[in-house]
Structure 1
């Protein structure tokens, strides 16, 4: 049957053409049946009207050089408090406890057993066997918050003096943070995966007496002390492994070392008699991973987070019936902001990690279920790098099926995409075709929030359709508490990051050298964010603060370095980044980020860094290839695949992969944007290797330094 191909079928087997034709007939009959019910109960024209309505406009009507604001506040004051008079995080937390006291707040999944599997190369892989989630109510969490805060005070912790949190995301992290907000102990957040030098830099800069960490990270803390870092108290979260938990932790000669349980035993569960934090006091000094040099400590005031929470909470429709899965680093503003918004709406938060998120996650024991299955979340936050992986995993699963299955899936996908963009729901396709994909995330997801970097329109639309829920892009930075924009869940378009939040305003600053101006036919320029979420500045770095936090017409803004444009409906679209723009020898500006975002959706690419020499007239690319896909190419070429490094260095494989990339790009990029040469990198880029930030963004300078000789060879300089 596979060989029965007719010239009139476009090269497809006859049985597939018949099946697709039959499917089109079914779609046509379905449309006739549901036309009237849709018009009455779910009018698509109303949905299209909500999608296209004006959401923001300039403060001065018709003047694109004036700040853009949400239409809800364009003629009044910015909205910077969720509740009147609740202007600090300790007040906000107590408001939440008063409203939702007995409701579930924070949940942790029980680890039943950890199996350690030794690999042929000697490495040990952990496989976890997990149980159910155990929950604490808002009242119960508040009791532990009081225990932690009073215990830290008994250890000598003073108001307005930093406590360092150097730990992975887990319930104890948030409990400790809430205690510090309540007792007015500023938190210095440090990524658990930061290198030793960066960790020591942050610890030295804030001069903290106390550090909160995890048992596996204690050796790093001890080493930092041996190198001169001054720490009096070390509190560690115990291992979740039942066996490791029973082992004694090595104490330190000079520092007081306590487990989290021991800290709780020192505390008092009663409410403190006074809570002294003021809106302008520092709540967090958040050390950004940074793409160059030492991490910068962003000083974030209580009022900044309160304002950002207000703006975000009034856009995201979440409530007490929702469940949020927390797995991104809490040292990242995206996760902190998302969790505080959830608490403000009485939403419960179940903790996870990237290692246990899905059934096929690295630490999930074969035959058992990941955290999404156990928790069945309705909300989750993602960074684009994670969503690109999900997208490629689904594509690989589809491509592993028969030709008939692939063609039928594609037909259903295109059908739903067209209906979605016309404002229609696809209840039957969701139930019969896409429901299985949705179960990867637990089967109940209704909103996915994307932030941290631009998400390709292709990936966004794919996630919208296959997971049967809106993928809402947001835009913000650590310096603006993640508060900038959030797209409307009714917006059916892709590529935009939404209108300004009610707590903020956005100004486009002209950059004439690259031709970006608010006076262009579509208003464009560097994105400047002003309003309540804008942070105090950089810790002990007045020069950088003065450079990035600027005044325009008497108002204070953060200059993001991103280039944006406003659509007619007032939604912002990020189109470039000043640091990623490169002028080649032919005089044209190239957006490296745009090229990378386009190529990242190719199944052959796991990661990519595009590079340009300003003295040359073409681009090159360093590609971390997908091992499975490229191995298949090598096998077809007759190349030995016993050593992955040799496969990557093979000229024929390199040439074939480059040809596939050029073919994949098609008309998506102009000729000058297509990399002329590529190099396949056999080693994966990770934050631990120093080539990615903790938000999985490229560290361009570090990559360029690491591959300096390779880049010279690609440009014929060796």
Structure 2
């Protein structure tokens, strides 16, 4: 009965009052409860839900599985919704009066001058202003008609280059009303990649936010096919279209009004038509355009919708990730299919203390109070870091209560039958976690995570503190975001769940790396995805397409991901390696760079890290972007004097402190000695998408980092 000792029952109270009525009643209660509790424990141990099951498929031999709950692959959310245009129209007509898209009213702007003279913009934002499904549908139809009247040739492509907002979504859906393929481009993409993307797809109409006009002006002479530019005027920026006078330029609202005055009959797309050419900010070279069909998007939305617990009109989704990223595009498509409300925000205005929020103004989550949200691991890591920092600052009783509550909730999640009781959970939620949940608005009930692996520690921390499950998605742009998805009732961490119901997952042996489907106790191999979410290949790149897309004898297309996975007995997948990240060291050992990075980034001192291995040496090294707060706190406590962060990063004491911390984390993660960086370099400047060193999903761009810091890496090996 060891579980009782750590419970909220007071065992001494029962002992002291063991005679008389207390003893009789207490004994009776215990006698009645013990059989019930023991049966609960036995049932809990025996019950293992089968989430994925083996299935016979075509193509290259391997170990294949499907979702256990739905035997046939899901293709559409309901009959007739086989394209994004049909899904949008039918959903809008099913929920005409329900809230759909919301944005905050801009009340004013201020500029704050820092001590070094730099000026920072601060926004005063009001409440969310909402448009219904019916109103949004009307606006999309007007924009579609306006595009044609504005001069866009419906046989050519349009591109969207803007941050996530209401108008982005309306422009996207408007294009589909005229079967126009949309080219999506990250707003943070560099000039060379921007020129390449627009010229390769021969875009004639570019839709952007007004602050992009200046960037376009600088590269206008290199853009060969652009004829029309439509800009969003909703960000409060001044229009600066100087230098692009050779294009027809108009505001989004003007195009809407033009379409409203002169409506044009829709020309709707087919299921196999290309809806989106999505340019990914890949880790090497110029970006590749992935051709995503209408059928791909609706299949993903339909499949993942079945895995989210009861999404519907009462839900509010916070939209802030880039819509040019497949994770956000898929998430908003799911919300559309479920009739949810979508409120737009940004990473710079998300919380009350976000960098662009004026003092006294509430952040997006405080005003919206979302029930659903998506995030990349870096966001969850920052939430965790912020909560831990606050708890440490308060100290004393607050810290003790938090630690006790966290341990009790952790025991509940990991299988302690007593800790799972609702009464105790309610107690800790009220005492400890209510204020933590307020960080994200207080109403979050489910979260989607994708874009990169989420560490087990961060996943468990968010589970407990936010009181909500995380559906960890695994997929790529080439598989339209969704390939696997961890289910809401799965308490495990570090896995990415079974296949989503619209596809199969197959492992194919990779003999060179030592991963085989015959491995025991779990089959291992390269992850291959086949099904309705597998995209149509790379635009204008048949060579690369044929390398990784294979059609089997049954006509199904399979995408070879390059990732290595293993399948658990319950049918859940775990990502364990990546073919491109494996380097053979001088003495023959293989080191997986991604695996080591995933382990070491959990250190409190690490904000970002890149492991580098030279095959002519027998050890690896690392470039580390330290957590400024953690490193400066250590320096203060260690009485280390420095002028600025650059000087601190160059101090031998700081390097030694971080390296020792990394060694401890590495040993806890059971890394081999050759996987622990023998030397490190602390990098004072953060790696950002704007600098081209990480993707929009904040995954490192290994080749760009190696090129930029070539000299530093060479010095580490001297």
Report the TM-score, using the length of structure 1 for normalisation: 0.91
CA distance in 1, matches of 2:43, 2:263: 50
Q: CA deviation at 1:563?
A: 0.6
1:434 aligns with 2:433: yes
Q: CA deviation at 1:65?
A: 2.6
1:698 aligns with 2:690: no
Structure-2 residue corresponding to 1:9:
none
Structure-2 residue corresponding to 1:88:
83
Q: Which residue among 288, 298, 317 is the counterpart of 2:290?
A: 298
Give the secondary-structure state (helix, strand or coil) at the position aligned to 1:86: coil
Q: CA deviation at 1:309?
A: 1.2
Structure-1 residue corresponding to 2:69:
72
Tell me if the contact between 2:176 and 2:268 (Cα under 8 Å) persists in the aligned partners. no
* Counterparts in 2 of 1:376 and 1:183: CA distance versus 1, 3 Å: same
Alignment map for 1:169-248 (pairs within 5 Å): 169-241=164-236, 244=237
Structure-1 residue corresponding to 2:635:
634
Q: CA deviation at 1:265?
A: 1.2
Give the secondary-structure state (helix, strand or coil) at the position aligned to 2:409: helix
Q: CA deviation at 1:636?
A: 3.9
Q: CA RMSD in A?
A: 2.6
Q: CA deviation at 1:419?
A: 1.2
Q: Deviations over 1:89-113 (max 9, x none)?
A: 1111111012111100100011111
Structure-1 residue corresponding to 2:339:
346
Tell me if the contact between 2:142 and 2:263 (Cα under 8 Å) persists in the aligned partners. no
Structure-1 residue corresponding to 2:482:
483
Give the secondary-structure state (helix, strand or coil) at the position aligned to 1:429: helix
* Counterparts in 2 of 1:429 and 1:58: CA distance versus 1, 3 Å: same
CA distance in 2, matches of 1:231, 1:49: 63
Q: CA deviation at 1:180?
A: 1.0
Give the secondary-structure state (helix, strand or coil) at the position aligned to 1:267: helix
Tell me if the contact between 1:164 and 1:188 (Cα under 8 Å) persists in the aligned partners. yes
Give the secondary-structure state (helix, strand or coil) at the position aligned to 2:146: helix
* Counterparts in 2 of 1:45 and 1:467: CA distance versus 1, 3 Å: farther
1:416 aligns with 2:409: yes
* Counterparts in 2 of 1:66 and 1:525: CA distance versus 1, 3 Å: closer
Give the secondary-structure state (helix, strand or coil) at the position aligned to 2:560: strand
Alignment map for 1:457-472 (pairs within 5 Å): 457-472=456-471
Q: CA deviation at 1:183?
A: 1.2
Paired residue total? 688
Bigger mean CA deviation after superposition, 550-559 or 349-358: 550-559
Q: Deviations over 1:403-458 (max 9, x none)?
A: 55434322221111011222624121112111111000000000011001111111
Q: CA deviation at 1:221?
A: 1.3
Bigger mean CA deviation after superposition, 467-476 or 654-663: 654-663
1:380 aligns with 2:362: no
1:104 aligns with 2:99: yes
1:118 aligns with 2:122: no
CA distance in 1, matches of 2:474, 2:44: 24
CA distance in 2, matches of 1:169, 1:28: 53
CA distance in 1, matches of 2:331, 2:34: 37
Tell me if the contact between 2:319 and 2:342 (Cα under 8 Å) persists in the aligned partners. yes
Structure-2 residue corresponding to 1:158:
153
Give the secondary-structure state (helix, strand or coil) at the position aligned to 2:694: coil
Structure-1 residue corresponding to 2:582:
581
Report the TM-score, using the length of structure 2 for normalisation: 0.91
Structure-1 residue corresponding to 2:8:
26
Structure-1 residue corresponding to 2:54:
58
Q: Deviations over 1:439-495 (max 9, x none)?
A: 000000000110011111111001000111111101111111112111110001111
**5+ residue gaps, structure 1:** 1-21
CA distance in 2, matches of 1:541, 1:38: 66
1:593 aligns with 2:594: yes
* Counterparts in 2 of 1:402 and 1:276: CA distance versus 1, 3 Å: closer
CA distance in 2, matches of 1:329, 1:435: 29
Tell me if the contact between 2:611 and 2:623 (Cα under 8 Å) persists in the aligned partners. yes
Give the secondary-structure state (helix, strand or coil) at the position aligned to 1:209: strand
Structure-2 residue corresponding to 1:148:
143
Tell me if the contact between 1:143 and 1:269 (Cα under 8 Å) persists in the aligned partners. no
* Counterparts in 2 of 1:274 and 1:633: CA distance versus 1, 3 Å: closer
Q: CA deviation at 1:567?
A: 0.8
Q: CA deviation at 1:272?
A: 5.5
CA distance in 2, matches of 1:622, 1:433: 37
Bigger mean CA deviation after superposition, 152-161 or 196-205: 152-161
Q: Deviations over 1:108-142 (max 9, x none)?
A: 01111111112233322111111000000000000
Bigger mean CA deviation after superposition, 544-553 or 89-98: 544-553
CA distance in 2, matches of 1:500, 1:277: 28
Structure-1 residue corresponding to 2:23:
none
**5+ residue gaps, structure 2:** 15-25
Tell me if the contact between 1:312 and 1:341 (Cα under 8 Å) persists in the aligned partners. yes
Bigger mean CA deviation after superposition, 614-623 or 292-301: 614-623
Structure-1 residue corresponding to 2:517:
518
Tell me if the contact between 1:146 and 1:269 (Cα under 8 Å) persists in the aligned partners. no
CA distance in 2, matches of 1:285, 1:38: 60
* Counterparts in 2 of 1:669 and 1:154: CA distance versus 1, 3 Å: same
Structure-2 residue corresponding to 1:17:
none
Tell me if the contact between 2:300 and 2:482 (Cα under 8 Å) persists in the aligned partners. yes
1:683 aligns with 2:685: yes
Give the secondary-structure state (helix, strand or coil) at the position aligned to 2:8: helix
Q: Deviations over 1:632-665 (max 9, x none)?
A: 3233444322221111111121112211222343
Bigger mean CA deviation after superposition, 358-367 or 103-112: 358-367
Q: Deviations over 1:184-226 (max 9, x none)?
A: 1100000000011111110101111100001111011122212
1:708 aligns with 2:693: no
Structure-2 residue corresponding to 1:455:
454
Alignment map for 1:650-665 (pairs within 5 Å): 650-665=651-666
CA distance in 1, matches of 2:691, 2:9: 50
Q: CA deviation at 1:603?
A: 1.4
Structure-2 residue corresponding to 1:18:
none
Tell me if the contact between 1:64 and 1:523 (Cα under 8 Å) persists in the aligned partners. no
Tell me if the contact between 1:525 and 1:564 (Cα under 8 Å) persists in the aligned partners. yes
Q: CA deviation at 1:228?
A: 3.9
CA distance in 1, matches of 2:123, 2:9: 45
Q: Which residue among 276, 300, 313 is the counterpart of 1:308?
A: 300
Q: CA deviation at 1:253?
A: 1.7
* Counterparts in 2 of 1:387 and 1:367: CA distance versus 1, 3 Å: same
Tell me if the contact between 2:365 and 2:441 (Cα under 8 Å) persists in the aligned partners. yes
